[in-house]
């Protein structure tokens, strides 16, 4: 039996307060989208994509960010079907579909016949969060990365991205866009690393930030130095900085099959609070 669907609509800055209220209802799950809206608003030219809404003004129930990523927010079956219809008509413009597992699984079920096959599907990615300093000692050698460290840290960032995503960020434009993103995170004080004699031992970035939560990304330990506790101690240091400087809750998400990373994050005080799913193109 087909579900009755109501068409989605493209939102604008007149919807900002209602959009933020919906996003802030689940600040951990929605930290990425909320950070975009808070920083640039809903004008597509500034947002780098569109925000789709399900429900008329004053009764919004669901959102979908359609930019470099396609990200459903608080989307039940009817909303997912409406967003899938719009995405199918528009054609694929994103490099991934990511978000809460129930919504993304249903969205991909609708889109795969038109957009597939995917390069990879990460079926279960635990979302983890903490609001307290880590229970283990933090690594005092983890510090904010400075611009003079850029050329040292960049290869570690490229290695992390390639290992995690399965393709190099230097493909296509030669890495120009990725280099600018790495540099921007350094400039705004959201890149952290332990660098010993020119070698990056551990590194991580704080990607998305709102007044309610921030998201750690890009966690990486030098392959020759893994299994020595650098990840947990490094994360303890980054969590301390994140709580002191950015937001009262720190979150991240990780592939379910990455047992060493999940164990390190648990040691650093993170607990699993949700599950995401990602479809990569």
Q: Is residue 134 part of a domain?
A: no
Output the DSSP codes for 176-222: HHHHHHHHHHHHTT-EEEEEETTEEEEEEEEEEE-SS-EEEEEEEE-
- CATH code where residue 182 lies: 3.40.630.30
pLDDT tens for 44-94 read 999 999 999 999 888 999 999 999 999 999 999 999 999 999 999 999 999
pTM of the model: 0.93
In the predicted model, what is the mean pLDDT of residues 126-146?
98
Band of pLDDT at residue 108, cut at 50, 70 and 90: very high
**Where among 117, 135, 166 does a domain terminate?**
117
Q: Are residues 152 and 252 in the same domain?
A: yes
Q: Quick one: pLDDT at residue 227? A: 95
Q: Quick one: pLDDT at residue 115? A: 95
Q: Are residues 86 and 37 in the same domain?
A: yes
Residues 6+ apart with CB under 8 A from 47: 36, 37, 40, 41, 67
The pLDDT > 70 percentage for the chain reads 98
pLDDT tens for 151-186 read 999 999 999 999 998 899 998 788 899 999 999 999
Q: Is 197 exposed, middle or buried (0-12, 13-18, 19+ CB in 10 A)?
A: exposed
Contact predicate 237/221, CB 8 Å: no
Q: Are residues 203 and 253 in the same domain?
A: yes
Q: Quick one: pLDDT at residue 50? A: 97
In the predicted model, what is the mean pLDDT of residues 263-269?
98
What's the domain count of the chain?
A: 2
The torsion angles phi and psi of 9, rounded to 5 degrees, stand at: -140, 155
Residue 4 has pLDDT above 70, yes or no: no
Band of pLDDT at residue 2, cut at 50, 70 and 90: very low
Q: Are residues 166 and 85 in the same domain?
A: no
What is the C-alpha radius of gyration for the chain, rounded to an integer number of angstroms? 19
Q: Quick one: pLDDT at residue 161? A: 95
Residue 98 has pLDDT above 60, yes or no: yes
Give the structural domain span for 172: 143-273
Q: Quick one: pLDDT at residue 6? A: 67
How does 225-241 read in b/e, with b if 16+ C-beta sit within 10 Å? beeeebbbbbbbbbbeb
Tell which residue, 130, 85, 99, 119, has the closest CA to residue 235: 130
């Amino acid at each position: 039996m087909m579900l009755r669907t109501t068409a989605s609509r493209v939102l604008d800055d007149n919807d900002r307060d209602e959009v933020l209220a919906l996003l802030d209802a689940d600040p951990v799950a929605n930290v990425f989208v909320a950070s975009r809206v808070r920083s640039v608003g809903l004008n597509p030219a500034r947002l780098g994509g569109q925000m789709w809404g399900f429900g008329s003004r004053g009764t919004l129930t669901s959102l979908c960010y359609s930019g470099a990523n396609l990200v459903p927010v608080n989307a039940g079956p009817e909303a997912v079907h409406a967003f899938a219809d719009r995405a199918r008509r528009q054609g694929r413009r994103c490099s991934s579909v990511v978000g809460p597992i129930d919504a993304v699984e249903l969205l991909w079920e609708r889109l795969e016949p038109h957009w597939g096959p995917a390069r990879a599907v990460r079926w279960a990615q635990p979302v983890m969060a903490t609001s307290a300093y880590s229970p283990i000692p933090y690594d005092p050698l983890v510090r904010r990365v400075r611009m003079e460290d850029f050329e040292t840290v960049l290869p570690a960032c490229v290695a992390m991205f390639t290992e995690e995503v399965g393709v190099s960020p230097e493909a296509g434009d030669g890495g120009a866009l990725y280099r600018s993103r790495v540099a921007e995170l350094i400039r705004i004080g959201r890149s952290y690393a332990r660098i010993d004699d020119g070698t990056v031992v551990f590194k991580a970035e704080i990607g998305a930030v709102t007044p309610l939560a921030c998201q750690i990304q890009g966690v990486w330990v030098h392959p020759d130095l893994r299994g020595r506790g650098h990840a947990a101690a490094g994360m303890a240091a980054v969590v301390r900085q994140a709580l002191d400087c950015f937001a009262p809750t720190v979150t991240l998400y990780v592939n379910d099959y990455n047992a060493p990373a999940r164990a390190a994050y648990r040691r650093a005080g993170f607990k699993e609070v949700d599950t995401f799913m990602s479809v990569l193109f």
